[in-house]
């Protein structure tokens, strides 16, 4: 079974697929040690670890370097967050995806928003859906199979008529050939249940303070749960707090 098929099957199991979001080899190895079924990169965590802001501020070559190191260090299926695709055309984006697939990557995330003047906005769903379809067509023509998880940012941006806007977009993304749908910042149980009924695609939600527990998410039909960049932030907050304690106490005893 190919890595792509194995990864795709994980979205059809009874329990949701818990994705450990990684930013380097160390974090990937921890999730492998904890017997996770799959991992995915966090673009924000990788960007911050390399001194960039999120939103395609780092060059794609840096993404490839990190991804290749992670892939060579663990055996888990790996999905890569490519943000807006690191390209302006379907051909450019597809070339990037093919490069990742040749490294053994099982899937990608691509977003339907963009950043303009430091403000994130939703893309027009019609040309974006057309772009997705073109990407899917080129991949199919070249015999490339990779799981395309489309991140819809309607809840993240809290747009008016969120459910209606989301439903309209998901229908278009389904028709364009997406394999999965990712809705960061959706947290209300009723909203999640509604979306599950409105799409045939496996729904991916993300770690948020108000997100229902895993058992509840399973009952209402969620198929994938991501951690985002939150554990990355937690790790470095813990580093700062411990270092502060060491300096305050003028001792390393608290560390051990």
Pairing of strands 38-41, 78-81: parallel
Interatomic CA distance for residues 210 and 169, integer angstroms? 24
Counting as low any pLDDT under 70, the low residues of the chain are none
Classify 39 as helix, strand or coil. Answer: strand
3-state secondary structure (DSSP) of residue 61: helix
pTM of the model as a whole: 0.96
What tokens does 239 get? 């580093």
pLDDT on residue 210: 98
Note the pLDDT of residue 229.
97
Give the pLDDT score at 25. 98
Asked if residue 155 lies in contact with residue 144, where contact means CB atoms within 8 angstroms, the answer is no
- Would you state the pLDDT for residue 1? 75
């Amino acid at each position: 079974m190919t890595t792509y098929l194995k990864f795709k099957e994980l979205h059809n199991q009874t329990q949701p697929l818990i994705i450990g979001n990684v930013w380097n080899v160390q974090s990937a190895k921890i999730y492998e040690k904890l017997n996770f079924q799959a991992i995915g990169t966090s673009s924000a965590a990788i960007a911050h670890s390399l001194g960039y802001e999120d939103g395609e501020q780092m060059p794609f070559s840096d993404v490839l370097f990190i991804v290749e190191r992670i892939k060579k260090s663990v055996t888990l299926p790996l999905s890569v967050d490519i943000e807006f695709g690191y390209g302006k055309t379907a051909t450019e984006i597809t070339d990037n995806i093919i490069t990742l697939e040749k490294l053994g990557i099982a899937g990608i995330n691509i977003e339907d928003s963009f950043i303009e003047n430091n403000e994130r906005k939703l893309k027009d769903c019609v040309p974006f859906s057309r772009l997705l379809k073109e990407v899917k067509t080129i991949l199919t023509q070249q015999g490339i199979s990779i799981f395309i998880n489309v991140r819809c940012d309607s809840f993240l941006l809290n747009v008016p008529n969120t459910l209606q806007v989301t439903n309209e977009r998901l229908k278009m993304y389904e028709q364009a050939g997406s394999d999965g749908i990712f809705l960061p910042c959706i947290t209300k149980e009723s909203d999640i249940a509604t979306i599950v009924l409105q799409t045939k695609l496996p729904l991916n939600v993300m770690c948020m303070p108000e997100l229902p527990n895993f058992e509840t998410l399973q009952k209402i039909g969620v198929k994938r749960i991501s951690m985002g960049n939150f554990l990355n932030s937690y790790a470095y907050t813990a580093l700062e707090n411990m270092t502060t304690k060491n300096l305050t106490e003028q001792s390393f005893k608290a560390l051990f």
